[in-house]
Copies of this chain bind each other. A is one copy, B any other.
Amino acid sequence: MTGFEPIPYRDGERALTGQLFRPDGVPRAAVAVFPTIMNPTPTVESKARALAEAGYCAMICDFYGATPRDLAEANEWADTLRADPRVYRTRLRAALAALGKASPGPQQAAIGFCMGGQAVLELARDGAELAAVASFHGLLDTAAPAGPDAVKARILVCHGDADPLVPREQVLAFWDEMDRAGADWHFHSYGGVRHGFTNPDPPPGNPVVGYDASADRQSWAAALALFDEVFG
């Protein structure tokens, strides 16, 4: 496992490129890694590498097919993509299909950071065939809440309690939504921790983020422990 393998895929007309990190030996499972609103960044790449080192075939997914110039452009692209949950979910599912071709096998999971954390929850709400999803500082609200028995994935949410983008009301609403859907969820809340806590090198101009070494370490350990349980 050294560099990544580019995985071209499409969502309709849109050309996208995954970044695949293969483990040594037979993969324990395939894991889709959804990046932040900035699309792939060094922090997210380090997480995909860590998954490969832990025995998983990990693919960083592509939200846009391009790299946003700055946060303002990323916000514009993300707003467009997320305006219709069906369009958004189709984009996300295209990544799962590409990963399934690149690393065949029935066992898939997904993790995501910030917008990527929201993305994996959208996939879970949409009933994607994922054994588990882990959201790191993802938004919890949705335009299309999960219906009864829709969620197939085990859910782990790792959340900064002081995240200005996710007030406690949104946390409680998420718990209620997941309970109504009959989902199997674990929710980890870190006191005093802000948005983007896994990223030691946040993009400039974003006042809501704050790296937290302990939350980063503990949330990662939690995701690996969940995967250990789910994938044996």
Interface string of A135-156 (1 = CB under 8 A from B): 0000000000000000000010
Q: Which residue of B lies closest to A182 (CB)?
A: B192
CB pair B178–A191 under 8 Å, yes or no, is: yes
| Size bracket, chain A contacts | 20 to 34
Which chain A residues (153-192) contact chain B, with CB distance < 8 Å? 155, 161, 168, 172, 175, 178-179, 183-192
Is residue A217 within 8 Å, beta carbon to beta carbon, of the partner chain?
yes
Bound complex: CA A192 to CA B226 (Å): 17
Is residue A102 within 8 Å, beta carbon to beta carbon, of the partner chain?
no
19 A/B residue pairs, CB under 8 Å, sorted by A = A161-B175, A161-B187, A168-B172, A175-B189, A183-B191, A184-B192, A184-B214, A186-B188, A186-B189, A186-B190, A186-B191, A187-B188, A187-B189, A188-B188, A188-B222, A189-B189, A217-B225, A221-B221, A221-B225
